Amino acid sequence: MSRKTKGINAERELVHKLWAFGWSACRIAGSGSSHYPSPDVIAGKDCRSLAIECKTTKKTKYLTKEEVNNLVSFAKIFGAEPWIGIRFREGWFFLKPKDLKDTGKGLAVSKELAKQKGLGLKKLLG
Amino acid sequence: MSRKTKGINAERELVHKLWAFGWSACRIAGSGSSHYPSPDVIAGKDCRSLAIECKTTKKTKYLTKEEVNNLVSFAKIFGAEPWIGIRFREGWFFLKPKDLKDTGKGLAVSKELAKQKGLGLKKLLG
């Protein structure tokens, strides 16, 4: 399975889980290629909305500062909360942009960091 | 140009206009095919968010009750306002679902109805 297909499958899985929790959610078209900042998934319920950048990894995921800044600036204008959703084999963890580890060149999330700082989906929504 | 391409171009044009007005906006992936209800475009600024079903036509556009009901139910859960955005040659008009004309079988928007009941983008956002 290509990395792109894996990414789309993870986004679809997350959208499905969000609906199962009673939220509305959808995948954003061309979120990596549009020249406007945009998240991978957007979800909303009542007065709360979430802009989520989705990643999958087995161990550690690296993000560029630019993609995280784009997420934050989209969320700020939209009035949404910016979250990084990382899917490990164990499941999903959701981190705030400020909780990613700055490696100088970019930002990283290890499984250990995700377990320490991240929220599970139920806690994120609850 | 295929009908699908025309539709996507109209959605992109609307996203572009929304950003130009200082809103954040994005196109939804697979909005016509997902088994969850979803709009074509979602836009947000501060505490307000818009779920928009986009259409293009020269004269009169027909919508099914199902697609409008899907838009309304998505918007209700999300906490967004449901709008039908119709692009005529003259530009965009935005109508509330209740302002579409019930033809019995479905719902219709003529250019006359759009001009009478619809809002321009500036007014919609202002």
Is residue A8 within a helix (H) or strand (E), and if so which, with residue range?
A: helix A3-20
> pLDDT tens, B67-112?
999 999 999 999 999 999 999 999 999 999 999 999 999 999 999 9
Q: Which residues make beta-bridge pairs with B28?
A: A28
The two tokens of residue B1 are 């140009």
* pLDDT value of residue B120: 98
The answer, for A4 touching chain B at a CB cutoff of 8 Å, is: no
* pLDDT value of residue A5: 87
Question: Which residues in chain A show pLDDT less than 50?
Answer: none
Handedness of CA A107, A109, A113, A119 (dihedral sign): positive
- Cβ contacts of B10 within 8 Å, gap of 6 or more: B54, B55, B56, B87
Q: How far away is chain A from the Cα of B78, in angstroms, using its nearest Cα? A: 4
Domains and CATH numbers, chain B: 3-125 (3.40.1350.10)
Are B106 and B64 contacting, i.e. CB atoms less than 8 angstroms apart? yes
The answer, for A34 touching chain B at a CB cutoff of 8 Å, is: yes
In the structure, what pLDDT confidence band is assigned to residue B46 with cuts at 50, 70 and 90?
confident
- Measured CA to CA, the distance from residue B21 to residue A108 in angstroms comes to 34
A-chain CB neighbours of B5 within 8 Å are none
Residues 59-118 of B with CB under 8 A from A: 74, 77-80
- Residue B110 appears among annotated catalytic residues: no
Are A37 and A74 contacting, i.e. CB atoms less than 8 angstroms apart? yes
Residue of B24, B28, B34 lying closest to A77 (CB–CB): B24
Tell me if A37 and B24 make a contact (CB, 8 A cut-off).
Answer: yes
* pLDDT value of residue A33: 66
Question: What percent of chain B is predicted at pLDDT more than 90?
Answer: 88
pTM: 0.94
The letter for the amino acid at A119 is L
